[in-house]
Each structure stands twice: as structure tokens, then as C-alpha cells.
A and B are shown apart, each in its own frame.
Chain A
Amino acid sequence: MLHIVNKSPFDHKTLETCLRFTRQGAAVLLIEDGVYAAGTGTAVTKVVEEALKNVSIYALEPDLAARGMQNRVIAGVRLVDYGGFVDLVAEHNAVQSWL
């Protein structure tokens, strides 16, 4: 399963809810304001680092760059471009967008 989160973790509970339903080996893709969760030194950094032990976490690079967050990404979070986004969707049997 690929989970897609597009909301800021500081303004919404979306990421928290998503992570409650991710199973071992699942993938989480952060896009739009969701990419703020990928930042180092924030109030949710620990939550994401903990999640990385069980799931793969990706962040959409153009969304990080737009927000000036491209140089403060948690180690272990993998960056993808739009092509990588498509690959992730194609690789997984199902996609859940946590709008």
C-alpha cells in the first residue's frame, strides 16, 4: 500500500492518522504541505523517525524546494520527482490518499 499525505502535520492530524494504519513495509509519500513533516528539528521529527523503522517514507522534491525545505530533510526520507511519484503509484497494489 502507498499512502499519500498532503497536509501539514502542524495544522492537521492527517499524518498521525495515516501512520496509525500503516503496516510494516508500506510506503508513505509526502506531497504539498505534507512535506513539512520531512523536516529536521521540528516538533514531529521524532514521529517520522520512529515511523521510518517500519515504513518507507518519500517526499516530493519539487514541493520541498518550493517551500525552501530542500536542505533540511530527515535522514532516511527519500526524495522523488514527479517520475518517481508515478513509479511509486505503479509499484504498489493500492494507493490511499489521506486528503
Chain B
Amino acid sequence: MEEAHGVIKKFLYVNRKAPYGSIYALESLEVVLIGAAFEQEVSLAFVGDGVYQLAKGQDTKGLAMKNFSPTFRALEDYDVTRLYVEEEALQARGLTAADLVVPVELVSAPRMAEIMEGHDVILSF
């Protein structure tokens, strides 16, 4: 049955931008959900300002924009369970894993480079 669905590739979505200043973060998340629906092996990486996408306490009422941070909590239902966060980026922004909406794996930049090498398809936003 597995073969009927074709080849399963390892996808890594690299999120590098803060959530509301541009459309990249939201668009990335949309593509993640599509990839997961096609039963590919999907992982997410958050580097640089991308770590801000996961910050707790986002309240967009004053902006008339959708707060999409709760969607990260739903990724588990799509079997997207590997979320890697660049530890240095988090530290530089005064944040810790406890400030994030979902459990993540903190990794160093060199380790993140290794993770990137280990994927077949990388989409960087």
C-alpha cells in the first residue's frame, strides 16, 4: 500500500522571518500543512527571527490579522512532530523554550546545518 502512494521524501521547512511583518511565515505554514497532507515526512526548522513565530502570548486583535501561532500546536495531528529551533537565535532574543507555544528541540547552528543536510527537499522562507 505504501508504494501506491509513491516515494516519501524528507521535507524540511526553514522559517527565518518574524510572523506579522511579512506574509512569509503564514505562507510557510500553509505549505507545511499541504506537504503533510500528501503524507511526506515533514520537519520544521526555526532560525533567526523565525523563532518569533513560536512565541507565546500572541494577540493580534489590534491588527485585524489572523493569529496563526495556535496552528503550530495542531501540527502533531498531521504527524509533524520534529520542530528544531536554533538555540543561539532564541538566546539573542531573550527567549527560552518555555516561552514557546510548542515543545521543540533546541539545536546549535552546526547541528542545524547537519539536519539540513539530512533532508531531500528544503523550502526556506
Contacts and interface: CB of A to CB of B under 8 A. Distances in A.
Interface string A26-56: 0000001100100111110100000000000
Given A42-B92, A66-B58, A10 B19 contact: no
B59 to A, nearest CB: 4
A2 B59 CA distance: 27
B52 A61 contact: no
B94 to A, nearest CB: 3
Contacts, number: 74
Interface residues of A, number: 27
Which label, helix, strand, loop or mixed, suits the secondary structure of the B interface? loop
Nearest to B52: A67
Contact of A70 (B21, B52, B57): B57
- Please tell me the size bucket of the interface on B: 20 to 34
B55 interface: yes
Interface in B15-65: 17-21, 48-49, 52, 55-63, 65
Given A66-B20, A67-B18, A10 B67 contact: no
Contacts of B67: 66
Contacts of B93: 10, 36, 39, 42-43
A77 to B, nearest CB: 14
Interface string B69-103: 10000000000000000000100111000000000
Contacts of A32: 20-21
Contacts of A68: 55-59, 69
Contact of B94 (A61, A70, A72, A82): A72
Interface of A: 6-8, 10-11, 32-33, 36, 39-43, 45, 61-63, 65-72, 81-82
